[in-house]
Amino acid sequence: MIKLQPGKFFFDSQAVITRVDKTTRRVLAKFGSYVRTTARRSIRKRKRPSKPGHPPSSHTGLLKNFIYFAYDLCSSSVVIGPEILRGPGKGEAPSILEYGGRVSQFTNTRRKKRKLGDAAEIAIGGKGARNDATTKIITDWKGRRKRVTYTRLKTAAMVAKANRLNEELYGPDKFTFGIPVAERPYMRPAFEAEKTKLPELWQDSVRV
């Protein structure tokens, strides 16, 4: 994965222009652009997961939109790939999709941090005595159906109780698993598809 300082090592930045000759910049920038475009096109927008061994599906566009290419000062080459994503569970996703591996942690999206003014859980098992209370049947994190009473939270004690009940109903903030994920490569196939263009790119850049 690429850990970029935004814009610093892009090919139109002054830092790269002063270190790399014009011909090399042109060739590497074109090749990086070709590989990035091919990788992005391979990540198709769809609801279902892709088959193992095929490029991943695009559900939010995040992976697809954060593929970059930049100059690597240490190896004097172009580096192409997804930026390291920020946020719980996101940083490992691009690498696991490319090479396969095990997902270590999921954020529990059903858990909610309750606060004053929220309409939130106040009782489990029956309708509360308050006139403004409502009930509905939910499935908790263990697959059990439960009747839950909701009302507007007006005191700190109500907020504390709602957060306790929310955890009881929906489980912890994060779930840690060792779920194996099959590889769904998108950068390696793109590189292989475009690398045959390199000799031609260098040839076209030489002027005699």
Q: What is the pLDDT of residues 91-110, one digit of tens each?
A: 678 888 999 988 777 788 88
**Whether residues 27 and 91 fall in one domain:** yes
- CA pair distance 159, 152, nearest whole angstrom: 9
Average pLDDT (181-203) is: 92
pLDDT value of position 87 = 55
Cα 159 to Cα 138: distance, rounded to the nearest angstrom: 20
Rounded Cα–Cα distance for residues 78 and 59 (Å): 28
pLDDT band at 168 (very low <50, low <70, confident <90, very high): very high
- Helix residue ranges per DSSP H, 84-155: 93-99
pTM: 0.60
- Assigned domain for 133 exists: yes
Residue 4 covered by a domain: no
Asked if residue 87 and residue 46 are part of one domain, the reply reads: yes
Task: Tell me the pLDDT band of 20, cut-offs 50, 70 and 90.
Answer: confident
Domain of 153, in residue numbers: 109-171
DSSP element (H, E) containing 121 = strand 119-124
Same domain, 67 and 133: no
Encoding tokens for residue 30? 């074109």
Largest Cα span, the chain: 90
**Which of the given ranges, 18-22, 69-73, 172-176, has the highest pLDDT on average?**
69-73
Residues in the chain: 208
Q: From residue 200, how far is each of 69, 128, 196, 203 by CA, in Å?
A: 20, 75, 8, 5
pLDDT number for residue 106: 74
Please state the domain count of the chain.
2
pLDDT tens-place string over residues 109-134 = 889 999 999 999 999 986 555 567 88
